[in-house]
């Protein structure tokens, strides 16, 4: 019944895994970016462009707070959610945090044809992705209760690993 917060770099597989978990484990899905975009009536890129990143980050923090009202949700967070310590505290108080990882090579393959990520506009090279991953690595790792590498794994395998590791830490 616990909430699961999926965190990780853009293209690490959060949305795919969240949707699989919601369908197969009878959990409610919260796709944060999608919800923010639909409430604002514009794409994430347009929100960044029109109002700036801080405005988006404020919406993101507010939505996370909203999620605390309910149990049994799988919450697919935007890749930058860990940038604010306040967000990490909110997640820790309301569920378990699962970090999905992937190499820069895998990430590049997954995001190559997607124009919906403003922070990767004009930065779709292994070097640029590695640089941004490196800046964030410490924050991702410090926030995570569970870390799952997603390279070359099916969604089913990733979800099984999440379940197993969740069981392990529940038993602690």
- Interaction of residue 78 with ligand S3P, rule CB under 6 A: yes
Query: What is the closest distance, in whole angstroms, from the C-beta atom of residue 153 to ligand S3P in the complex?
Result: 18
Query: What is the closest distance, in whole angstroms, from the C-beta atom of residue 14 to ligand S3P in the complex?
Result: 6
* Interface characters, 24-43, with ligand S3P (x: CB under 6 A): ---------x----------
DSSP secondary structure letter of residue 50: H
Interface pick for ligand S3P out of 73, 117, 140, 143 (rule CB under 6 A): 117
- Interaction of residue 147 with ligand S3P, rule CB under 6 A: no
Closest C-alpha to 56, from 25, 35, 74, 29:
35
Nearer residue to ligand S3P within complex by CB, 33 or 143: 33
N-terminal to C-terminal alpha carbon distance within the chain: 17
The burial of 29, by beta-carbon neighbours within 10 Å (0-12 exposed, 13-18 middle, 19 or more buried), is given as middle
**Rounded to an integer, what distance in angstroms lies between the CA atom of residue 7 and that of residue 12?**
8
Interface pick for ligand S3P out of 4, 37, 73, 80 (rule CB under 6 A): 80
Pick the stretch among 64-72, 76-84, 93-101, 137-145 that binds ligand S3P (CB under 6 A).
Answer: 76-84
**Do residues 115 and 124 lie in contact, with contact meaning Cβ atoms separated by under 8 Å?**
no
Residue 55: how many CB atoms within 10 A of its CB?
13
Interface pick for ligand S3P out of 16, 51, 118, 146 (rule CB under 6 A): 118
- Interaction of residue 67 with ligand S3P, rule CB under 6 A: no
Q: What angle do CA 95, 97, 102 make, to 5 degrees?
A: 160
**Footprint on this chain of ligand S3P (rule: CB under 6 A):** 10, 14, 33, 44, 78-80, 117-119
């Amino acid at each position: 019944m616990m909430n699961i917060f999926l965190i990780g770099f853009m293209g690490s597989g959060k949305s795919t895994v969240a949707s699989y978990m919601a369908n197969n484990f009878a959990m409610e899905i919260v796709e944060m970016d999608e919800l923010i975009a639909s409430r604002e009536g514009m794409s994430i890129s347009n929100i960044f462009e029109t109002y700036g990143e801080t405005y988006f980050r404020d919406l993101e923090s507010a939505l996370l707070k909203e999620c605390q009202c309910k149990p049994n949700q799988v919450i697919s967070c935007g890749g930058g959610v860990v940038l604010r310590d306040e967000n990490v505290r909110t997640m820790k108080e309301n569920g378990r945090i699962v970090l999905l990882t992937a190499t820069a090579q895998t990430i590049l393959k997954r995001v190559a044809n997607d124009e919906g990520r403003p922070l990767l506009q004009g930065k779709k090279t292994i070097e640029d992705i590695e640089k941004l991953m490196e800046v964030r690595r410490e924050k991702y790792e410090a926030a995570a209760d569970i870390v799952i590498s997603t390279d070359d794994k099916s969604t089913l395998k990733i979800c099984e690993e999440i379940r197993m590791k969740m069981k392990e830490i529940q038993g602690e």
